[in-house]
Amino acid sequence: MLSIPWLSSCFLETQILVYILLFGLAAIAILTWPRNKHVVLDPRGRAVLITGCDSGFGNQLAHRLLDMGFTVFAACLFPDGEGAQSLITRASPGQVKVIRLDVTSDKEMEQAKQYVLDNLPDKGLWGLVNNAGISMWGMVEWLTIEKYQKVLDVNLLGSIRTTLAFAPLVRKTKGRMVFMSSMNAYATALNGIYSMTKAGLEKFCDCLRLEMNQFGVKVCIIEPGNYAPATNIQPRETAEKVWASLPAEAKKINSKEFIENATTILNEKLDGGSKNSYEVVDAIVDALTSPTPKARYLVANFAEKVAVYLYLWLPTLLFDQIIYLSIKTLRSHNN
């Protein structure tokens, strides 16, 4: 005869499976729910502020919004650079306003805010796109505290600093706030310094989205996969440069061969990324203009989406083992 504890265990396991199935069906229903993808918003007289417009997604988004008829405040680190000048030469007179902005500077942020206030079009600041970001890679002990502070100040605190400055203006128009995160906020390996800032940004946005909802402001997160060739956010590295930058203690536990293998794999991964930056720009435009924008836009290939879903669904111990095996395989090449 079957024991009661065994039956109870089976019953509980069946319950868990049912809950997982129902959760999965609900998720599919939500993701496939019909959404109005037509742009019904009239961009005339509405402004959007974009940080990080020197190149990459920010520059391409600025061009797209200008073509649509928005007024664009293009925040650039180098306002005299090629990216900023390409916006000026393409736009109609007065349609684009290039601003010098280092998102880590309180002084420059205050100056940018005053400039925007003095030059707002009739319908105000409709959108804020926090796009500025930098990337570094390496294991935790490979990097100095100064590097951690630098990436944190740009990717996380820079976005917070920009939000605090311009949130009142977006609230007045019941507009949109869009944040550039990454799939690395979930699945990560060899780039904890970057992932840390994006995970922090996600939680900041979750809080902001709930708080801004009462004012009619939509907060959206963009989570791109590997688009390194399209943005060059993470330049290719050489093993010699990485080895030379390692702290002394890190050199004791990592061989040069391991560094060479890791660098080779990183460069291959970067080269294998998508060049179709328009996919990410499309997601940002939808977040700015759709009557029913998503809270999160995961813009990634099939394998990257699987990695994110495995992270979210698998027990942490099991997911860690998958990542650990890949690192272990990398180290075994040195033996």
Q: Please identify every residue annotated as catalytic.
A: 194
Length of the chain in residues, anyone? 335
As beta bridge partners, residue 71 has 47
Q: Is the dihedral of CA 214, 112, 206, 37 positive or negative?
A: positive
Q: HEC profile for the chain? A: CCCHHHHHHHHHHHHHHHHHHHHHHHHHHHHCCCCCCCCCCCCCCCEEEEECCCCHHHHHHHHHHHHHCCEEEEEECCCCCHHHHHHHHHCCCCCEEEEECCCCCHHHHHHHHHHHHHCCCCCCEEEEEECCCCCCCECHHHCCHHHHHHHHHHHHHHHHHHHHHHHHHHHHHCCEEEEECCHHHCCCCCEHHHHHHHHHHHHHHHHHHHHHHHHCCEEEEEEECCCHHHHCCCCCCCHHHHHHHCCHHHHHHCCHHHHHHHHHHHHHHHHCCCCCCHHHHHHHHHHHHCCCCCCEEEECCHHHHHHHHHHHHCCHHHHHHHHHHHHHHHHHCCC
